[in-house]
C-alpha cells in the first residue's frame, strides 16, 4: 500500500511516564523534528489489560487526541475544535497544555457541543467572524479510507465541521482503530450523512437513489418524535450506498442537487490522521503520494 505510514510516539506527559516503555531499539532520537514526525517507524507501548473492546477504543481515542494536540498546536495558534466523542480527549489535552505551558490559544468551535467544551475548560472562545483563518483544525471521523477520504457527520455537525476545516491551514483528524478502512463502507455502516433543507428531503433522497444507487433515509431522533435537526435547523439524510464510488465526483454531484446544504464526504482535506490502536500505540497516515 503506497501510503506514508508511521507509528507516533506519545509524549509521556500525556499518559504518564510510568505507563510507557519505548520498544527495544527505538530511542528518543527518532522523535519529531520541527514539530512534525520523521518517516521512521516509532513505537511507544502502554501496558494495560483492558476488559473489553469499548475500553480499548476509549483509550485509543485519548491517545490519538493527545498526539494531535501535542504535535500540531503551538503557542499563539487559533485552533478549530471539532465535534464528537474523540474530540473530548483532544480538548482535555489542549486545556492541560494551556495551563501547564501558559499558552495563548484561541478556539473556534464546529458545533454547540464544541462550544460547551471550550467554555467548560476555560479556553478562549472565538468564531470565524473574528478569526477567519485558523492555524489548525482538529476533528474526528466516522471512517477513514486508504486515501484519507473521510465520512463525517454521524453526530450531525458536518456542515460546520467542513467550514471550519476549510478555513484551517492544517486539518488534522483523530480516530480510534475502528474507524480505519481500506475503502469507505467497510467499517462504518451508517452511510454518508447529507444535510438538506427540510422541504427538500424527499426529492433529494429520490434523486440520490436514482443517480447513485442505494437508499437515502431521513435520520430520525432517538429521544424525541421526529427527525434530527442540525445546529443549522436542517434535516439529515443518511445515504446507504451500495458500492465504492469516485468520491470526489460524487461529492460534487450531490452538492449540486437543489436543497443539499453539504455532504459528509471530506475529500482531499485531511493532512494527517492519527489512529489510536488496540495495542496502545498511535499510528499516523498521510495522504498517498500521487
Distance of CA 208 to the CA centre of its chain: 25
Exactly one of 41, 96, 143, 161 is catalytic; which is it? 161
How far apart, in whole angstroms, are the C-alpha atoms of residue 290 and residue 155? Answer: 32
For residue 198, give the DSSP letter.
Answer: G
How far apart, in whole angstroms, are the C-alpha atoms of residue 157 and residue 81? Answer: 12
Instruction: Supply φ then ψ for residue 189, to 5 degrees.
Output: -105, 5
Among residues 49, 44, 40, 48, the alpha carbon closest in space to that of 21 is found at 44
- Is residue 150 within 8 A of residue 172, CB to CB? The reply is no
Question: Distance of CA 251 to CAs 34, 112, 173, 211, 263, Å?
Answer: 35, 26, 19, 12, 7
Distance of CA 160 to the CA centre of its chain: 13
How far apart, in whole angstroms, are the C-alpha atoms of residue 62 and residue 81? Answer: 15
For residue 44, give the H/E element and its range: strand 44-46
Question: Distance of CA 10 to CAs 7, 41, 64, 244, Å?
Answer: 9, 13, 9, 34
**Collapsing DSSP states into helix, strand and coil, what is residue 238?**
strand
161 catalytic? Reply is yes
Kindly state the cell numbers that stand for 191. 452511510
- Name the residues annotated as catalytic: 161
Amino acid at each position: 500500500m503506497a501510503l506514508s505510514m508511521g507509528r507516533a510516539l506519545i509524549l509521556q506527559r500525556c499518559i504518564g511516564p510510568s505507563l510507557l516503555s519505548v520498544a527495544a531499539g527505538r530511542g528518543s532520537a527518532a522523535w519529531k523534528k520541527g514539530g512534525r514526525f520523521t518517516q521512521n517507524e516509532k513505537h511507544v507501548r502502554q501496558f494495560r489489560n483492558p476488559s473489553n473492546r469499548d475500553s480499548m477504543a476509549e483509550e485509543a481515542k485519548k491517545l490519538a487526541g493527545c498526539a494531535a494536540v501535542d504535535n500540531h498546536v503551538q503557542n499563539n495558534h487559533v485552533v478549530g475544535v471539532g465535534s464528537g466523542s474523540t474530540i473530548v480527549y483532544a480538548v482535555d489535552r489542549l486545556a492541560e497544555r494551556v495551563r501547564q505551558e501558559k499558552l495563548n490559544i484561541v478556539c473556534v468551535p464546529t458545533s454547540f457541543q464544541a462550544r460547551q467544551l471550550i467554555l467548560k475548560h476555560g479556553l478562549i472562545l472565538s468564531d470565524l467572524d473574528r478569526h477567519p483563518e485558523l492555524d489548525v483544525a482538529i476533528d474526528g471521523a466516522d471512517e477513514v479510507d486508504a486515501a484519507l477520504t473521510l465520512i463525517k457527520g454521524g453526530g450531525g455537525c458536518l456542515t460546520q465541521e467542513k467550514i471550519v476545516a476549510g478555513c484551517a491551514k492544517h486539518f488534522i483528524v483523530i480516530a480510534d482503530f475502528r474507524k480505519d478502512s481500506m475503502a469507505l463502507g467497510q467499517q462504518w455502516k451508517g452511510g454518508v450523512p447529507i444535510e438538506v433543507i427540510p422541504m427538500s428531503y424527499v426529492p433529494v433522497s429520490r434523486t440520490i437513489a436514482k443517480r447513485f444507487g442505494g437508499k437515502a433515509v431521513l435520520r430520525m431522533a432517538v429521544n424525541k418524535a421526529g427527525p434530527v435537526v442540525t445546529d443549522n435547523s436542517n434535516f439529515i439524510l443518511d445515504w446507504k450506498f451500495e458500492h465504492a464510488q469516485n468520491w470526489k465526483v460524487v461529492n460534487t454531484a450531490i452538492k449540486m442537487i437543489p436543497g443539499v446544504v453539504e455532504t459528509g464526504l471530506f475529500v482531499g482535506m485531511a493532512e494527517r490522521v492519527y489512529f489510536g490502536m488496540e495495542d496502545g500505540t498511535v499510528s499516523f497516515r498521510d495522504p498517498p503520494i500521487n
